[in-house]
Structure 1
């Protein structure tokens, strides 16, 4: 074995603790990269395959009622490839053994056949047989939530008539990868289901024989949806069209796309943080190795070893550390990717989900971690290459010592000799101390970022469900009705308060930006619906004008005073300019609000309402549900308490799933950084500490010089770490914001305290591990030169 190989193995043995610490940091970066990229690959692959194989629509529209013969005219629009007209209708369901209200969506399919667009993937059973009026195919998430199998029965109120339906099959649809109810923010599989029924049976039930109220299209290759949408709107405008929209505005696709974008951000930010820290640690470690081995380098050069051989030697040492970290990261990432994938598959349903760690992903992890490591160590390796043998054989020139701030301040009289040594050493080696502080500060920042979102989730839930949604339930009606219906609801069991609201689908346009949503009309200061300003205070709706959530206002690039073009997609389908009167801060959903009388005037209607908010006594909950379930006009009932539980579970499973992994890794990295700093300091000052022992310093005093310096560096790093962590938390908060929810940028005192306590605990553990070396310091060996 060559001499450099012997030296490499000896260095690895001596540095095994530091090598392990840095390998953990590299493993963390590789692990997060593999988790994010593998999940991203799997979801993208599953999405593209499902959309392609089952002909997911590219343009959608709903309308009141149109004759079937219009289908040929729709097909004649330039750019249209396929057309599928259908009937869709809301339905209320009743499953044996489940007492809560269940709403659903009925969708027609050609009798006994697959639809040409948005085809169904059969998981079990078959599609409804031709001629069967009572058979339905049921979405898999709803079937799983209620334990339904092919052949089971359930009851449904279809257009006011109680019917018994038979489940013919269990299916998945590309239209409902993310199965969301009309007024839901997250999937509620127990209380919302999608059912597919033969076209003839569904059309007859809703007086739609020879007519349709929904159209889906696919487009010819290379055709943009905008001109097709314009032509479709012109054709269907007289038939109560709600306005056509492209795939990117379809709810399921939009949310899935945002999740993919969020994963893509995570695939860059989190691995970048961890691998950046590993590059920094390797830079410090390799710099220390070259400095302490300068005499060895000189001897090797004197014996004929070339600069290239020495560069390869130190580069190989770095590569071996990276290899250890890569192996750990790949193993941990492959295991964790399955776990993260399982979380996502609870909400996004595909026929085939292929989660595998591809060789390309491992190669990417190796390339990124290797590049970060080599970038971090290049300066130290280059220093070894250019070191002249004659200069290297001499010890480094001693520094120029002068009185520092400690001596001039007069504080030295209050400090013992070891403590004075600590502060003088920090003052005389400012660059080295600054690098140590920066390394520890990065670990504080990671701990802060990993922990702050747990408190932020509590803030999100408290804001949305204590200050914004103060009602107990939301009752949605099948059709617009008079506000006088509120008087009837007051007589239902347990009802304490009723407030009406009016919801109108719209497209909001400002400049080059637009957004498809709904305006919610309500009382100017409703008792059951809060409007929160940026400071958390309650806000009153203006008598005229529009109020938007801050997220929507930012999307539209609109500010109070701007005119917003409002395209109403219901009623008279007017387009009017409405001033933006204010902005409210809501963490969930995307909303637009107006005073209900003003909205009714814009709609050119009387005091019409779309539903009601209810406050009721909990002991009458089930009795109230039973009463409302029998009201034909009620399309669905949203339970706020259940929604709160569901949204908390969703956020904890998805966003906090990754954050939990990050917190665990941050804790290990905090220890790795602090322990590495302590070991490097000990290795650099072992000779100096032995000299102090020879001069009469006790073991405890010598130990305090090193450990006390670590304590001071840690205390100095905590405020800087808080600043870095706060900035990083803000970047992450902005990066993962989406239509469904925005985690508020709120960092609690507990999060700051946790990050400080975590790094102090790491410092304490490092001190405990290094103390035995200090106490067993061999003065004779330490004072020898190492050749």
Structure 2
């Protein structure tokens, strides 16, 4: 065994390029998957720790007001021993265009904040605990003072501490923003007495329960009456659901893309190890003839796969978490705010490592076992498959066409017919390269195109304003001029049968500042009786025109609505209806959004009902920044794809050359010149690349479409978008790598050892 182990080391040295190829394929596959998986799984672990640290509530209860009598009834009649009561309002910072979501707590039992700096929260204190991100962007620290204004009232607060709160993980401050603007928007916590000093007699409006306590809606209605709006359990909370979706998206992106990596690498490694063993058949025959036991020979060649795949996997296991998370977490933290983000390996990475090692080892042992079944004399004969008798191929039957082909091309066609697996593996390498590159480049382009479509094709307004809900909205804004369109956008659910989705529910006017298009791309006229459903949501719920959908709006009510049209709008995904329809089935139309065009901006911003105004261009920039989180993943995958394509094509091409070395030597003896042999090598590469490119383009387009459907969030429909530049770039890389390898290998032709190449027995 000692001598066989030494032979293994010598073989690694002799065939170092092939072993290096297997090493890099394993390394890249594990590096990318492990690096992305630790971020996604680490997010789950970090949020779980954050939930436990904050003692997150089990139930949230929303009302228009909770009195001292209500609290006594909850405690005495319903047995509620612990509860966190809260009041929440949106206040201004005096002297600046800045806004704070101010929350007054009775205690922080079920809403503990993570302390970043300063003192721990005290509900009896007169101070304020400020969002640390807001403080960081505005150079504020504990001990500084802020003057808070709310509807004519104002009060100065001393900053006691800087905090982060789990319920604000996705806090943006405004529904118009997709990522946080920490310079303008923040949140803060105070005690109830401090709130009363700012605004006298402001009631508690929220109630949080935990430690297994909960109240039914019927009980809440019996205690609170009409003041009860709605309640939510932990599993219903948007911030937890959205973060879970982010984690799932990252895992889906890493799994689906890495699956192509791993399958392509595994297939190539299987082929590489199989062909390396086949090239050792004379040595295997010699060892068997010398009486070396079969199990020792199998173990010897099994080590081929174990050693290289294990080294590559272990290196990838350490390299991935060191390279990928700093890039990915840095981008994700632009809109997910956590006090910590752990990187934790997902158990699936160990299964993939085991699969790759098994693939390499199985390929080695399988081919060794196949050879060992034969007698030594049979093993030592025919190492190059030259006694395979072929029938005439389809092209050869057309003598007029076949006779006109160059001899080099004829040789390539016949050789590929004799060695179909070898030719097929070359094609698979090119197809895989096209799929990885086109999909990687196509995802980023598709997201950019989706954002452009949302804010240019679906929208024509110049400004969008978040406004206070009022029945007198038309009178309040009648003097700002320009085009105006009021809209009400609420969160709710849509369901049909056992299928249910969280959606955006919109009610508005049909004045052309928001455009809805049908499935043929034609503009939809939103009539008073219309109920529109977006295409993606319709597919998720299996809904068509004429079907009835149950729509539930939080705090307002639930109704069954008949779908009249399907819109191809890609965001937001949900239900759209005219304001007349909303008023008929739900409540009075009191918009919370105002779309304007050519309005007087100063009058708009100074209006008493205006909360915040953003331009359409600003929304597009924010959407593009959010898209960068996905693009960052894709850039990593694209880079890895390029490296993997180079490794796969080089490894397969090198193995092809080694197997054909005897054939090239024969051609040289027969009088073929070196440039003619190089042309044969080039012709063979052209055949492989051409077929691989044709199959690869169609496969890549289909994979891109599937990939986008799998990884996109429920709130948006990403549609595959490919243009000529993407195909051209992917083609240049794949074809360039293929032909570069050909020219590198062709330089070996003049160095062929003619004597050694014709040896059939060593």
Q: Distance in 2 between matches of 1:256 and 1:635?
A: 27
Q: Structure 2 vs 1, CA of residues 547 and 186 (structure 1 numbering), >3 Å: closer, same or farther?
A: farther
Give 1:782 deviation, angstroms: 1.9
Q: Distance in 2 between matches of 1:706 and 1:328?
A: 35
Corresponding position: 1:323 with 2:306: no
Q: Distance in 2 between matches of 1:171 and 1:427?
A: 70
Corresponding position: 1:406 with 2:395: yes
2:164 paired residue number: 172
Corresponding position: 1:612 with 2:599: no
1:764 paired residue number: 739
Q: Structure 2 vs 1, CA of residues 745 and 439 (structure 1 numbering), >3 Å: closer, same or farther?
A: same
8 Å CA contact 2:477–2:604 kept in 1: the answer is no
Q: Distance in 2 between matches of 1:691 and 1:251?
A: 71
Corresponding position: 1:676 with 2:651: yes
Q: Structure 2 vs 1, CA of residues 253 and 435 (structure 1 numbering), >3 Å: closer, same or farther?
A: same
Corresponding position: 1:87 with 2:113: no
Corresponding position: 1:194 with 2:187: yes
Q: Structure 2 vs 1, CA of residues 356 and 91 (structure 1 numbering), >3 Å: closer, same or farther?
A: same
In terms of mean alpha carbon deviation, does 508-517 or 469-478 score higher?
Answer: 508-517
Task: Select 1:473's aligned residue among 460, 463, 480.
Answer: 463
Give 1:180 deviation, angstroms: 3.2
Q: How does 1:657-736 map to 2 (within 5 A)?
A: 657-736=632-711
Task: Select 2:229's aligned residue among 228, 242, 255.
Answer: 242
1:510 paired residue number: 496
Task: Select 2:568's aligned residue among 573, 585, 608.
Answer: 585
8 Å CA contact 1:406–1:424 kept in 2: the answer is no
Q: Distance in 1 between matches of 2:95 and 2:395?
A: 78
**1:243 match: secondary structure:** strand
Q: Distance in 2 between matches of 1:649 and 1:394?
A: 64
Q: Structure 2 vs 1, CA of residues 414 and 166 (structure 1 numbering), >3 Å: closer, same or farther?
A: farther
1:544 paired residue number: 529
Task: Select 1:601's aligned residue among 577, 584, 591.
Answer: 584
Task: Select 1:434's aligned residue among 424, 431, 454.
Answer: 424
Q: Structure 2 vs 1, CA of residues 250 and 473 (structure 1 numbering), >3 Å: closer, same or farther?
A: farther
**2:190 match: secondary structure:** strand
1:775 paired residue number: 750
1:108 paired residue number: 104
Give 1:24 deviation, angstroms: 1.6
Q: Structure 2 vs 1, CA of residues 204 and 502 (structure 1 numbering), >3 Å: closer, same or farther?
A: farther
Q: Distance in 1 between matches of 2:500 and 2:345?
A: 39
Q: How does 1:289-688 map to 2 (within 5 A)?
A: 289-336=276-323, 337-355=325-343, 363=350, 366-377=353-364, 379-395=366-382, 396=385, 398-409=387-398, 410-485=400-475, 487-491=477-481, 496-504=482-490, 506-524=492-510, 526-570=511-555, 573-605=556-588, 608-616=590-598, 624=602, 628-652=604-628, 654-688=629-663
Q: Distance in 2 between matches of 1:616 and 1:190?
A: 28
Q: Structure 2 vs 1, CA of residues 683 and 266 (structure 1 numbering), >3 Å: closer, same or farther?
A: same
Q: Distance in 1 between matches of 2:79 and 2:570?
A: 39
Q: Distance in 1 between matches of 2:71 and 2:136?
A: 36
**1:71 match: secondary structure:** helix
Q: Structure 2 vs 1, CA of residues 256 and 33 (structure 1 numbering), >3 Å: closer, same or farther?
A: same
Give 1:75 deviation, angstroms: 5.5
Q: Structure 2 vs 1, CA of residues 169 and 741 (structure 1 numbering), >3 Å: closer, same or farther?
A: farther
**TM-score, scaled to structure 2:** 0.92
Q: Distance in 1 between matches of 2:148 and 2:717?
A: 36
Give 1:142 deviation, angstroms: 2.2
Q: Distance in 2 between matches of 1:587 and 1:77?
A: 49
Q: Structure 2 vs 1, CA of residues 191 and 233 (structure 1 numbering), >3 Å: closer, same or farther?
A: farther
Q: Structure 2 vs 1, CA of residues 432 and 80 (structure 1 numbering), >3 Å: closer, same or farther?
A: farther
**1:553 match: secondary structure:** helix
8 Å CA contact 1:137–1:170 kept in 2: the answer is yes
Q: Distance in 2 between matches of 1:481 and 1:204?
A: 30
Q: Distance in 1 between matches of 2:81 and 2:363?
A: 55
Q: Distance in 1 between matches of 2:318 and 2:48?
A: 28
Deviation sequence 1:57-85 (CA, Å, 0-9, x none): 22223222232332344467989774222
Give 1:293 deviation, angstroms: 2.0
Segments of structure 1 that go 5 or more residues without pairing to the other structure are none
Deviation sequence 1:270-302 (CA, Å, 0-9, x none): 333222222211221122223222221110001
Give 1:376 deviation, angstroms: 4.8
1:271 paired residue number: 258
Q: Distance in 2 between matches of 1:752 and 1:681?
A: 27
**TM-score, scaled to structure 1:** 0.89
Q: Distance in 1 between matches of 2:250 and 2:75?
A: 38
Q: Distance in 2 between matches of 1:376 and 1:640?
A: 58
Deviation sequence 1:188-224 (CA, Å, 0-9, x none): 3333211212212324545544x3211222251xx8x
Q: Structure 2 vs 1, CA of residues 259 and 504 (structure 1 numbering), >3 Å: closer, same or farther?
A: closer
Deviation sequence 1:618-673 (CA, Å, 0-9, x none): xx86xx3xx55544322333443222212211221x22222111111111111112
8 Å CA contact 1:34–1:333 kept in 2: the answer is yes
Deviation sequence 1:730-784 (CA, Å, 0-9, x none): 3321221213444322233332222222210110221132121123223223223
Q: Distance in 2 between matches of 1:304 and 1:638?
A: 83
Q: CA RMSD in A?
A: 2.9
Q: Distance in 2 between matches of 1:506 and 1:352?
A: 31
Give 1:128 deviation, angstroms: 6.8
Q: Structure 2 vs 1, CA of residues 61 and 517 (structure 1 numbering), >3 Å: closer, same or farther?
A: farther
1:152 paired residue number: 144
Corresponding position: 1:120 with 2:113: yes
Q: Distance in 2 between matches of 1:180 and 1:534?
A: 33
Q: Distance in 2 between matches of 1:196 and 1:528?
A: 38
Give 1:696 deviation, angstroms: 0.4
Q: Structure 2 vs 1, CA of residues 375 and 172 (structure 1 numbering), >3 Å: closer, same or farther?
A: farther
Q: Distance in 2 between matches of 1:234 and 1:376?
A: 68
Q: Distance in 1 between matches of 2:94 and 2:355?
A: 54
8 Å CA contact 1:489–1:498 kept in 2: the answer is no
Deviation sequence 1:96-144 (CA, Å, 0-9, x none): 5xxxx5443211123xxx51111111111235766766x4222122222
**1:656 match: secondary structure:** helix
Q: Distance in 1 between matches of 2:183 and 2:753?
A: 70
Q: Distance in 1 between matches of 2:285 and 2:582?
A: 84
Give 1:453 deviation, angstroms: 1.0
